[in-house]
């Protein structure tokens, strides 16, 4: 996470791993700053025409919205990521990365619904 200079992928992975180990989501000031910076970059990526790096830019931004307790933003961006996915494994990868949060007992607004949406919609890409 330190070496990536704020790239969302390692940042979000580190956050998820820590949450799985500690069974809680702790976002201090330094991490909040990094999440906000990653969000600005991802918003620029999805705003370009065509969006840059879909579906990952949508999925990463959706995950940041999840951690900010923005259920509607999380679900909406997850749906956009699904729509831009070209392969089932892309949708499955995002779902599989979120499932351990539920297993750790974290109940974030929209998390369970988003996982269900990802599972249901992945079958359409088969």
Distance of CA 104 to the CA centre of its chain: 17
Per-residue pLDDT tens digits of the chain, which is 126 residues long: 566 666 899 999 999 999 999 999 999 999 999 999 999 999 999 999 999 999 999 999 999 999 999 999 999 999 999 999 999 999 999 999 999 999 999 999 999 999 999 999 888 877
**pTM of the entire predicted model:** 0.94
Query: Among residues 79, 77, 51, which one has the least CA distance to residue 66?
Result: 77
Helix (H) or strand (E) holding 100: helix 88-103
Query: Among residues 58, 65, 63, which one has the least CA distance to residue 80?
Result: 58
pLDDT digits (tens, 9 = 90+) for 22-54: 999 999 999 999 999 999 999 999 999 999 999
HSE, side-chain direction, 13 A CA sphere, residue 95: 20
What is the domain partition of the chain in residue ranges?
Answer: 8-125
């Amino acid at each position: 996470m330190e070496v990536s200079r704020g790239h969302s992928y390692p940042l979000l992975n580190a956050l998820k791993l820590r949450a799985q180990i500690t069974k809680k989501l702790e976002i201090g000031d330094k991490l909040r700053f990094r999440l906000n910076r990653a969000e600005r970059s991802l918003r620029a990526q999805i705003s370009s025409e065509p969006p840059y790096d879909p579906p990952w830019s949508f999925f990463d931004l959706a995950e940041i919205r999840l951690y900010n307790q923005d259920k509607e933003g999380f679900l909406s961006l997850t749906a956009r990521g699904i729509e831009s996915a070209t392969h089932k494994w892309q949708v499955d990868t995002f779902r599989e990365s979120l499932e351990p949060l539920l297993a750790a007992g974290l109940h974030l607004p929209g998390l369970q619904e988003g996982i269900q949406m990802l599972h249901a919609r992945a079958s359409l890409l088969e």
